[in-house]
Amino acid sequence: MKKIFFTPGPSQLYPTVKKHIKNALSADIPSISHRGESFQKIYQNTQNNLRKLLKIPQTHKIFFLSSALEGMERIIENCVEKSSFHLINGAFSKKFFDIARLLGKKPVKVEVEQGEGFEFEKITIPKNTELICLTQNETSTGVWLPLPQVYKIKKKYPKTSIALDIVSSVPYTKVDFNFIDCAFFSVQKGFGLPAGLGVLIVSQALIEKSKKLVKKGISIGSYHSFLELSKKDEKFQTPETPNVLNIYLLGKVTQDLLRIGINKIRQETRQKAQFLYAFFDKHPLYKPFVKNPLFRSETVIVVKTGKETKKVIARLKDKGLIVGKGYGQFKEKHIRIANFPAHNLRDMKKIVKTLQQM
Burial class (CB in 10 A: 0-12, 13-18, 19+), 2: exposed
d(CA 128, CA 114) in angstroms, rounded, equals 27
Closer to ligand PLP at the Cβ: 85 or 92?
Answer: 92
Residues 161-180 that bind ligand PLP (CB under 6 A): 165, 167-168
Which residues are CB-contacts of 349 (< 8 A; sequence separation ≥ 6)? 275
Residue of the chain from 17, 50, 69, 153 that contacts ligand PLP (CB under 6 A): 69
Residue of the chain from 84, 186, 299, 305 that contacts ligand PLP (CB under 6 A): 186
Please check whether residue 213 is in contact with residue 163, taking contact to mean a CB–CB distance below 8 angstroms.
no
Work out whether 68 is an interface residue with ligand PLP (CB under 6 A).
Answer: yes
CB of residue 100 vs ligand PLP: minimum separation in angstroms?
Answer: 14
Residue of the chain from 5, 6, 63, 92 that contacts ligand PLP (CB under 6 A): 92
Calculate the CA 132 to chain-centre distance: 17
As a 3-state breakdown, the chain gives helix, strand, coil percent values, each rounded to 5, of 45, 15, 40
Build a one-symbol-per-residue string for 297-326: x at contacts with ligand PLP by CB under 6 A, - elsewhere. Answer: ------------------------------
CB of residue 283 vs ligand PLP: minimum separation in angstroms?
Answer: 25
Task: Give me the count of residues in the chain.
Answer: 358
Residue of the chain from 12, 47, 67, 309 that contacts ligand PLP (CB under 6 A): 67
Closer to ligand PLP at the Cβ: 24 or 68?
Answer: 68
Q: How many residues bind ligand PLP (CB under 6 A)?
A: 12
For residue 183, give the nearest of 343, 50, 83 by alpha carbon.
50
Phi-psi bin for 186: left (phi > 0), alpha (psi -120 to 50), beta? beta
What single DSSP character describes residue 327?
A: P
CB of residue 185 vs ligand PLP: minimum separation in angstroms?
Answer: 8
Calculate the CA 64 to chain-centre distance: 14
Build a one-symbol-per-residue string for 225-264: x at contacts with ligand PLP by CB under 6 A, - elsewhere. Answer: ----------------------------------------
**3-class DSSP state for residue 125?**
coil
Work out whether 183 is an interface residue with ligand PLP (CB under 6 A).
Answer: no
Residue type at position 3: K
Burial class (CB in 10 A: 0-12, 13-18, 19+), 143: buried
Residues 131-160 that bind ligand PLP (CB under 6 A): 135, 137, 139
Closer to ligand PLP at the Cβ: 17 or 167?
Answer: 167
Using CB under 6 A, list all residues that contact ligand PLP.
Answer: 9, 67-69, 92, 135, 137, 139, 165, 167-168, 186
